[in-house]
Amino acid sequence: MRVHICAVGRMRAGPERELLDDYLKRFDRTGRGLGLGPVTMHEVEDKKGGGQDAEAVLLERAIPKGAMICAMDERGRVMPSPEFAGKLGGWRDQGVSDLAFVIGGADGIAKDLRNRADFKLSFGAMVWPHMLARVMLSEQLYRASSILAGAPYHRG
């Protein structure tokens, strides 16, 4: 199952970028034998300042046709890491070939795109910077693949 992270904004070089790249590399390495990955990053930028609706148009173009959409949204479902791993494995086992995680800009995801999502996932009631959300998602993808592989990374 190919994984796509479709996000508003371009992440520059720095500590967040290094963490993101590290976790995505780990996920690709661990997930490969499990039928998970690779991960493709799709970064979009609304240079005209059209807000959520303009960002949604760009995000929709970045989402592969036929992909299952998981919106990263504060109103989404909060779940422990083992449950997320089970959800990821379940989608793979159901034959989902492309899974797109959508991360909006500073104002979140436009309502129409959010409503179109097949699943909504939250990292809790707190709002996180959208650049940091990418790092958190990549770490959870790696953690999920480690859980599914029976590796000792997750000790929860």
- Residue-range domain boundaries for the chain: 2-149
Q: E-assigned strands of 9-67?
A: 39-44
47-80 residue pLDDT tens: 888 899 999 999 999 999 999 999 999 999 999 9
93-125 residue pLDDT tens: 999 999 999 999 989 999 999 999 999 999 998
**CA distance linking residue 121 with residue 143, whole number of Å:** 16
Q: Closest Cα to residue 45, out of 104, 120, 108?
A: 104
Of 32-36, 46-50, 137-141, 147-151, the least confident:
46-50
What's the pLDDT score for residue 17? 96
**CA distance linking residue 63 with residue 82, whole number of Å:** 26
Of 20-29, 32-41, 46-55, the least confident:
46-55
Please tell me the pTM assigned to this model: 0.95
Measuring CA to CA, how many Å separate 90 from each of 79, 94, 102, 103?
A: 15, 6, 19, 22
Confidence band for 138, pLDDT divided at 50, 70 and 90 = very high
What's the pLDDT score for residue 47? 84
What's the pLDDT score for residue 156? 67
Domain 2-149: CATH architecture, name and number where available: 3-Layer(aba) Sandwich (3.40)
Q: What mean pLDDT, rounded, does the chain reach?
A: 95
What's the pLDDT score for residue 112? 96
